[in-house]
Structure 1
Amino acid sequence: MSSDNYKNFGKATQCSIGFLVLFIAFNTCQNLSAQVLQNLGFEDLGNYSLGTVYLVLGFTSMISSAVLKRLGYKITMVIGGMCNAIWVLSYLFPVFKQKYPDQRNLLIFSDGFIYFIVLFSAFINGVGAAILWTALGMYISDCSTEAKKGFYFSYFWTFYMSSQVVGNLVGAYVIGQDLEFFFIFMGALAVVASISFMFLQKPINVKGDLNDSQQEKQIDAQMDNKFFYNVQMTYKIMTSKRMLVFLPQLFWIGMSISYYSSMITPIIYDSFDDKTLTENDKLKKALIAMVAFGFGEMTGGLSIGQIIDRVNTKYAVLFNLLIITIMGIVTIVQIQTLDYNWLTFIMTFLWGFQDSSVNTHTMQMLGFEFENNIEPYSVYNLVEAFGVFIFQLIETYIKNQKARLIYTIIMCIAAFLMCGTTYFFDFKQQKQSSKDQPQQQKNKFPFQKLDELYIEEKSRQQTQESLKLI
């Protein structure tokens, strides 16, 4: 096993920890935003806020690669993280309005101002998210090697999505607690995480394609490129033949985010038949069930990473299809039975596992299957964001059990077909260096090993017969 494979392990870990802390803040607030704002008297403002984040993220993705080339890893991630913090802290305004009723005549506590500040901060967060994720994709890709690309992306995803475990536990605890402290605490976490990106170091070039001086020249050339040329390159990659085959999977990721963000909690809500439970009690139980979603996110990425590294990227598609099938069956059964039990936790676990597996598979393909590893991540952000936005609008019309059942069946069929198209993607030939040949031998299928043993034994027998003749 080549030591080059892990030269950037520490750098990838540092980046992953930063994202873990940052998204403890974002994911927790995302999970609670709609319910909290509704409880504070702002009805659908939480949904509008999240929709704005993803809509702006989609449009901004067209220019995110150009911004990254201008600013570099560190500044881009710091700005993106700070935009996240601004969005989290904007929720303090509706909290303050409820906490200080005698000050409601002030402009900052008026409904109009609060709607403006929350939606404007969502706009800012959408811009920040676009450049943040483009920078992240390129950074982890540059930390990775061809032999360990699955490991690095799954390693990051495990760190990143463990925020769902911590976030949902925190969310379950803070319902009914002091919301002012909650949002200040989460905002502070986002600020600290953003500042930590300033200390990221440039990954060591371990791919062997460019030496350090050549890499510097390439970066300088990229920095000199015109801004709109970078936008044009993003569009060119998005409309290329290879990317067009891959776009359905990118769009499904957005559909998946929309489903588990907006549909799983209502499905769990329908499972409660205890009339003594308050709305907050139900929300607590729903968030506890979503902890299993976080564990699914953590394990799904690791599993698909092993398949990518030990088998190949193409066969990882089949693994995703298997998980999607099981997930669909369990979700349909859960909707029909309407019981809050072990099946509820399996359902949320499978949605997390599927989301992590497909995302990890997607991110490593974007980093290794295309000539450039910047613009493909911009395309990913764009397509995913529009998937979230469009299906969040659709899901506002899904109000009862029958509608959820039909919608879930359609979604699962769509997931199978959209992720299945990736099997026909024109994958690059995986070129292994001589250093990695022992690992290749280790990872061969059983029938390949038997063939080699047979040939080896046959050769040995022929050699012995030749010696006897001599």
Structure 2
Amino acid sequence: MSPEGKKLLNIVILGFGFMFMFTAFQTCGNIEQTVIKSFNSTEFHGSGYTSMAIIYGVFSASNLIAPSVVTVIGPQLSMFFSGLLYSGYIAMFIYPYTWSFYTASVFVGIGAAVLWTAQGNVLAINSTDNTIGRNSGIFWALLQFSLFFGNLYIYCAWHGHDHITDKDRQTVFISLTVISLVGCFLFFLIRKPDPEPAPAEAAESLLQAESTESSSTASFCLPLFTCKMFGTNEMMLLSISIGYTGLELTFYSGVYGTCIGAMTQFGKDAKSLIGISGICIGIGEILGGGVFGMLNKCNRFGRNPVVLLGLITHFVAFYLIFLNIASDAPIAPEAGTDLQAYITPNLGVALLCSFLLGLGDSCFNTQLLSIIGFLFRDNSAPAFAVFKFIQSIMAALAFFYSNYLLLHWQLLILVVTGFLGSMTFFMAEGLAESTRRESDYDSI
């Protein structure tokens, strides 16, 4: 097999490994609050929202040490051991205890930072300037397919169940643990790419590039350098947009599925509809990621129209959710809520909103990845670490307040933050356009 073929195979294996792992983990996060409400044991007093707040809070802080871990033990072992932490978190639900639940949440937060840092490293060393877009698209598509399979399994497993029994829970989480472990062991199939033959001058350039990357990684490990990255005008503008993606990540991945499962007016299949909602979110993510990822190649109109489309899409979804879902649904007890919002609850509208949430999320994320990669191409590692830091901090905050706030207050926070984030993104895009024109002038 040619060196290019080996690199492409590594990307495919990476994508399948993440697909298996996040088929299990994203499904777990989507249903855990509903599952926790159904526990028959009075000894368990945990909250799924609090757990996810811990995960994202620790994830954010652990971004400072993750590059050092990946450098010491390598990306392959980093992904494997991080995957084991994910599997342990999922397995904890088979026989849950409050102390093990929150302890596992801390370890998953650490593992998440290492996992995503290693993933970026594997993607980079198996790509060139000409193939990075293609490889990122392949990885994104395979990762988002995880939303299909896990949620389809939940729908089939819980169809017709108005209460989740201990046996139902154990069957589901044993299966999810096995699926996650399969993803962990797939990482061992990734092989170090063969060095391409190069003349002396090219080899010297390669060594210089590696030295630059090592320097960037070392700098990233210093909190001082991270704070300096925070202080740039571009990152300060983008921070509100990034923070918004963290808030809406919490909403579509944990809160909205819980709301659908709590609506008794959707009938006895309401719990299984959480899986269908996740599938609709996945369709929106894959469609948006594929279309808007390809649009970056012909960036004729810039990134602003895509972000504006994402904002409008989310605003439509939020308004329909406000009309369709009862305000106490996020914090309703296991029996659900009998309250009605402003219209008779409609399942079709609820699933349409799931699709719109996924589509809008892909609009924001594809354009944020694009503009950060452009503005900070000389310091991409710390820039993307700051991106994950801000996003995970805001996700942790959102999971925390989801324990207490009614649905309409959560939607109001999303609307205000989304509007401000879009405005500041437009300003950052203006800076990017100025940088592009200066680069074109210098080259002339």
TM-score by length of 2: 0.79
2:198 is the counterpart of 1:198: no
Partner of 2:146: 163
Contact 2:322 2:411 in 1 (8 A): yes
Selected match of 2:399 from 378, 392, 395: 392
2:233 is the counterpart of 1:241: yes
- Classify 1:32/1:230 alpha carbon distance in 2 versus 1 (closer, same or farther; 3 Å): same
RMSD of aligned residue pairs (Cα, Å): 3.4
Selected match of 2:368 from 359, 362, 368: 362
Partner of 2:308: 321
Aligned length: 403
Rg larger in structure: 1
Q: How does 1:256-405 map to 2 (within 5 A)?
A: 256-265=248-257, 267-268=259-260, 273=265, 277-278=267-268, 281-311=269-299, 315-336=302-323, 337-367=343-373, 369-399=376-406, 402-403=408-409
- Classify 1:419/1:213 alpha carbon distance in 2 versus 1 (closer, same or farther; 3 Å): same
Superimposed CA distance per residue, residues 305-334 of structure 1 (whole angstroms, 9 cap, x where no aligned partner): 11101226x713321221221231233034
Question: Displacement, 1:196?
Answer: 1.8
Deviates more, 1:402-411 or 1:58-67: 402-411
Q: Distance in 2 between matches of 1:421 and 1:394?
A: 30
- Classify 1:136/1:211 alpha carbon distance in 2 versus 1 (closer, same or farther; 3 Å): farther
Question: Share of identical aligned residues, percent?
Answer: 19
Q: Distance in 1 between matches of 2:133 and 2:209?
A: 26
Contact 1:18 1:197 in 2 (8 A): yes
Q: Which amino acid aligns with 2:16?
A: I
Q: Which amino acid aligns with 1:398?
A: L
Deviates more, 1:155-164 or 1:360-369: 360-369
Contact 1:168 1:290 in 2 (8 A): yes
Q: Which amino acid aligns with 1:239?
A: G
- Classify 1:346/1:6 alpha carbon distance in 2 versus 1 (closer, same or farther; 3 Å): farther
Partner of 1:231: 222
Partner of 1:252: 244
Q: Distance in 1 between matches of 2:312 and 2:137?
A: 22
Q: Distance in 1 between matches of 2:248 and 2:438?
A: 33
Partner of 1:92: 94
2:52 is the counterpart of 1:50: yes
Q: Distance in 1 between matches of 2:37 and 2:424?
A: 35
Contact 1:252 1:419 in 2 (8 A): no
Question: Displacement, 1:154?
Answer: 2.8
Deviates more, 1:409-418 or 1:20-29: 409-418
Question: Displacement, 1:266?
Answer: 5.2
Show structure 2 runs of 5+ residues with no match: 159-163, 324-342, 440-444
Q: Distance in 2 between matches of 1:366 and 1:67?
A: 24
Q: Which amino acid aligns with 2:308?
A: L
Show structure 1 runs of 5+ residues with no match: 95-113, 433-470
Q: Which amino acid aligns with 2:385?
A: S
- Classify 1:118/1:330 alpha carbon distance in 2 versus 1 (closer, same or farther; 3 Å): closer
Contact 2:58 2:109 in 1 (8 A): yes
Q: Which amino acid aligns with 2:404?
A: Y
Q: Which amino acid aligns with 1:53?
A: I
Contact 1:149 1:364 in 2 (8 A): no
Q: Distance in 2 between matches of 1:430 and 1:191?
A: 48
Question: Displacement, 1:80?
Answer: 1.7
2:50 is the counterpart of 1:26: no
Q: Which amino acid aligns with 1:375?
A: P
Superimposed CA distance per residue, residues 233-290 of structure 1 (whole angstroms, 9 cap, x where no aligned partner): 444333333333332222222111112134423553576536xx34xx2121233123
Partner of 2:161: none
Selected match of 1:140 from 120, 123, 128: 123
- Classify 1:117/1:153 alpha carbon distance in 2 versus 1 (closer, same or farther; 3 Å): same
2:38 is the counterpart of 1:15: no
Question: Displacement, 1:408?
Answer: 4.8
Contact 2:60 2:393 in 1 (8 A): yes
Q: Distance in 2 between matches of 1:342 and 1:223?
A: 51
Q: Distance in 2 between matches of 1:403 and 1:195?
A: 43
- Classify 1:196/1:220 alpha carbon distance in 2 versus 1 (closer, same or farther; 3 Å): farther
Question: Displacement, 1:415?
Answer: 4.5
Superimposed CA distance per residue, residues 159-207 of structure 1 (whole angstroms, 9 cap, x where no aligned partner): 111111111111223334532232222222222211221232345789x
Superimposed CA distance per residue, residues 369-391 of structure 1 (whole angstroms, 9 cap, x where no aligned partner): 42133222321221111010112
- Classify 1:398/1:143 alpha carbon distance in 2 versus 1 (closer, same or farther; 3 Å): same
Contact 1:161 1:294 in 2 (8 A): yes
Q: Distance in 1 between matches of 2:55 and 2:370?
A: 25
Please list every run of at least 4 consecutive aligned residues from structure 1 whose deviation after the TM superposition is greater than 6 angstroms. Answer: 3-7, 220-229
Q: Distance in 1 between matches of 2:125 and 2:236?
A: 24
